[in-house]
């Protein structure tokens, strides 16, 4: 399409210039006491969004993406044929943090963020979207807190009045690069396209009662240009031509957190053990024979036989991807167990990669002691809870 060609052409001729700021600082919003209390309760709750701050990547970004396949953030993809961009402190090119081709911005959280076009001054409604699959589907009639942060890039000549988040049961895979016209689950619509917060990190937050089965999150602008109000920022510098007719926004720190008790053995279904001949997609299995030294993440040789079966299955099913999740018992601090479980899942991932499985097919996460299979402090319970789980999907 013409607009697609224009975007890629404009990306290809960009060279970054000296950054400038052009917004006055916001005074911020007062947080209600209830919100502070709720935050203190939920701060240790499990976020269902994988890689929520876009810290993990398959390859460090060097520049903007010129195709959807170049967006190499673990757990995330484009929901249409638009080209989201990754920004990270690791970059030695023009996709760095805090300075990059789209502007100047510190992350809201961590070392990176992503960027998408929410609006372009044209008749073609060009849009970019971010999409991920949740770590588990939402439970019917259960309450969740949804939150993400967004910021207008400082080189954008336009700002707009809206952004949204959509929860769906099915994957979105639009074959075009235009607006996905679906009513979003969260729709943030400001009274005006330019406010005192514009240009600083803003927060979208909503409590949501699940219909049941929602497992995909998509972020972007779901309204066409006629419905989207825009504002031309007259005195902002034109640092590069690609953003002269656009509203480009950074996204960071996406959260979907259960607002109910998720502690041990409330409706817990114990996964089956991994058996190569009986694998089903989108089903979780326990790698029962994976062994580590106490409080360490180096694999013991007794683990290799089962891992060879996983490698064999992945080679026979070359289109499948694998998600690994590490879990610990109740001993030790939350921070230590998150780190340990993450490292153990990564150790399994590294074994798979060393035996010929592409890193682009592997995702790994650590849940610490937050998801025990068996409640209790006996050695039998702790042994069952120390595990690595595997799930295969397309």
* Per-residue pLDDT at 390 exceeds 80: yes
pLDDT of 315 reads: 95
**Inter-residue contact 24 to 196 (CB < 8 Å):** yes
Q: Is residue 299 part of a domain?
A: yes
202-209 sheet: strands from edge to edge: 85-88, 112-120, 246-258, 143-152, 202-209
125: alpha, beta or left? (left if phi > 0; alpha if psi -120 to 50): left
**Where is the domain boundary, 200, 228, 258?**
258
Does 352 score more than 60 pLDDT?
A: yes
Going by C-alpha positions, the residue among 207, 197, 123, 201 that lies closest to residue 165 is 207
Confidence of residue 258 (pLDDT cuts 50, 70, 90): very high
- Checking if the pLDDT of 176 tops 60, the result is yes
Residues 156 and 19 in one domain: yes
Question: Average pLDDT for residues 151-172, to the nearest whole number?
Answer: 96
- The tens digit of pLDDT for each residue in 74-120 reads 999 999 999 999 999 999 999 999 999 999 999 999 999 999 999 99
**Predicted local distance difference test score (pLDDT) of residue 261:** 61
Same domain for 96 and 241, yes or no, is yes
286/342 same-domain check: yes
pLDDT band at 335 (very low <50, low <70, confident <90, very high): confident
The predicted pLDDT at position 216 comes to 97
Report the CATH number that the domain containing residue 96 is assigned in CATH. 2.60.120.260
One domain for residues 281 and 381: yes
pLDDT category of residue 2 using cuts at 50, 70 and 90: very low
Which range of 59-63, 297-301, 375-379 scores highest in mean pLDDT? It is 59-63
3-state helix, strand, coil in the chain (%, to 5): 20, 25, 55
> How many whole angstroms separate alpha carbon 111 and alpha carbon 90?
8
Q: How confident is the model at residue 21 (pLDDT cuts 50, 70, 90)?
A: very low
224 found inside a domain: yes
Query: Is residue 266 a part of any domain in this protein?
Result: no
Q: Based on the domain organization, do 238 and 277 belong to the same domain?
A: no
What predicted TM-score, i.e. pTM, was given to this entire model?
A: 0.64
Q: How far apart are CA 269 and CA 84, in angstroms?
A: 37
b (16+ CB within 10 A) / e for 39-74: eeeeeebebbbbbbbbbbbeebbebbbeebebbbbb
CA distance 198 to 193: 8
Indicate whether 305 and 374 sit together in one domain: yes
> 3-class DSSP state for residue 219?
strand
Residue 7 CB-density burial (10 A; 0-12 exposed, 13-18 middle, 19+ buried): buried
One domain, residues 107 and 233: yes
Q: Which of 258, 283, 298 is the last residue in one of the domains?
A: 258
DSSP string, 1-46: -HHHHHHHHHHHT----------PPP---PPPHHHHHHHHHHTTSP
Stretch 251-265: mean pLDDT, rounded? 79
Helix (H) or strand (E) holding 208: strand 202-209
pLDDT in tens, 33-79: 334 434 444 444 689 999 999 999 999 998 898 887 889 899 999 99
Q: How far is CA 326 from the centre of its chain?
A: 18
Evaluate whether 97 touches 108 at the Cβ level (below 8 Å). no
Within a domain: 132: yes
Question: CA 393, CA 135: separation in Å to the nearest integer?
Answer: 12
Residue with token string 């825009």? 230
Question: Is residue 154 very low, low, confident or very high in pLDDT (cuts 50, 70, 90)?
Answer: very high
As a whole number, mean pLDDT of residues 135-154 equals 94
Task: Kindly tell me if the per-residue pLDDT of 294 is higher than 80.
Answer: no
Query: 72-81, 130-139, 283-292: which has the minimum mean pLDDT?
Result: 283-292
Chain-centroid distance, C-alpha 124: 27
Residue 181: how many CB atoms within 10 A of its CB? 12
Same domain for 276 and 204? no
> What average pLDDT score do residues 221-244 get?
89
Say which CATH number the domain at 375 has.
3.30.1330.60
Q: Is residue 311 in some structural domain?
A: yes
DSSP 350: H
Parent domain of 372: 272-393
Position 382 confidence tier, pLDDT thresholds 50, 70, 90: confident
d(CA 308, CA 303): 9
**pLDDT score at 107:** 96
Residue 266 has pLDDT above 70, yes or no: no
- Can you read off the two tokens belonging to residue 394? 């397309």
Band the pLDDT of 16: cuts 50, 70, 90.
Answer: very low
Residues 313 and 220 in one domain: no
Residue 370 lies in a domain: yes
Q: Are residues 254 and 276 in the same domain?
A: no
249, part of any domain: yes
Name the DSSP letter for residue 293: -
* pLDDT score at 245: 93
DSSP state of 366: E
By three-state DSSP, how is residue 207 classified? strand
* DSSP 8-class letter at 386: S
Determine the Cα–Cα distance for residues 348 and 329; give it in Å rounded to an integer: 18
pLDDT at site 230: 97
What token pair was written down for 281? 């997609």
User: Who has greater pLDDT, 190 or 335?
Assistant: 190
User: Can you give the pLDDT at residue 269?
Assistant: 63
- State the Cα–Cα distance between residues 259 and 207, nearest whole angstrom: 9
DSSP string, 295-322: T--PBPGGGHHHHHHHHHHHHHSTT-EE
Higher pLDDT, 45 or 192: 192
Euclidean distance between CA atoms 222 and 189, whole angstroms: 11
> Count of domains in the chain?
2
Residue 28, pLDDT > 80, answer no
> How much of the chain exceeds pLDDT 90, in percent?
58
Q: Is there a domain that residue 45 lies in?
A: yes
218 and 179 in a single domain? The answer is yes
Same domain, yes or no: 239 and 337: no
């Amino acid at each position: 399409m013409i607009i697609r060609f224009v975007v890629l052409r404009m990306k290809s001729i960009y060279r970054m210039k000296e950054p400038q700021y052009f917004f006055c600082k916001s005074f911020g919003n007062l947080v209600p006491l209830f919100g502070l209390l709720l935050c203190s309760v939920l701060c240790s709750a499990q976020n269902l969004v994988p890689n929520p701050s876009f810290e993990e990547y398959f390859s460090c970004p060097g520049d903007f993406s010129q195709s959807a396949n170049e967006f190499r953030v673990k757990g995330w993809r484009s929901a249409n044929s638009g080209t989201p961009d990754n920004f990270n402190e690791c970059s030695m090119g023009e996709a760095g943090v805090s300075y990059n081709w789209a502007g100047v911005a510190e992350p809201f959280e961590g070392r990176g963020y992503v960027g998408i076009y929410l609006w372009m001054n044209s008749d073609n409604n060009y849009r970019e979207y971010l999409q991920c699959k949740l770590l588990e589907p939402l439970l019917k009639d259960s309450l969740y807190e949804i939150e993400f942060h967004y910021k207008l890039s400082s080189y954008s000549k336009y700002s707009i009045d809206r952004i949204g988040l959509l929860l769906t049961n099915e994957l979105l895979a639009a074959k075009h690069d235009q607006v996905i016209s679906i009513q979003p689950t969260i729709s943030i619509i400001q009274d005006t396209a330019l406010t005192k917060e514009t240009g600083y990190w803003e927060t979208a937050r909503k409590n949501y009662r699940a219909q049941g089965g929602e497992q995909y999150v998509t972020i972007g602008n779901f309204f066409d240009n006629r419905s989207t109000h825009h504002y031309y920022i007259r005195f902002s510098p034109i640092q590069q031509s690609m953003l002269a007719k656009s509203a480009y926004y950074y996204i960071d720190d996406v959260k979907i957190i259960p607002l109910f008790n998720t502690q041990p053995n409330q409706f817990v279904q114990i996964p089956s053990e991994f058996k190569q001949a009986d694998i089903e997609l989108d089903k979780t299995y326990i790698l029962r024979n994976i062994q580590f030294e106490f409080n360490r993440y180096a694999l013991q040789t007794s683990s290799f036989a089962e891992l060879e079966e996983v490698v064999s299955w992945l080679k026979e099913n070359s289109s499948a991807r694998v998600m690994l999740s590490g879990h610990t018992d109740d001993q030790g601090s939350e921070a230590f167990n998150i780190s340990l479980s993450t490292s153990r899942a990564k150790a399994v991932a590294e074994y798979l990669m060393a035996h010929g499985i592409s890193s682009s097919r592997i995702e790994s996460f650590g849940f610490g002691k937050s998801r025990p299979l068996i409640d209790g402090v006996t050695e039998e319970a702790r042994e069952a809870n120390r595990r690595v789980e595997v799930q295969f999907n397309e």
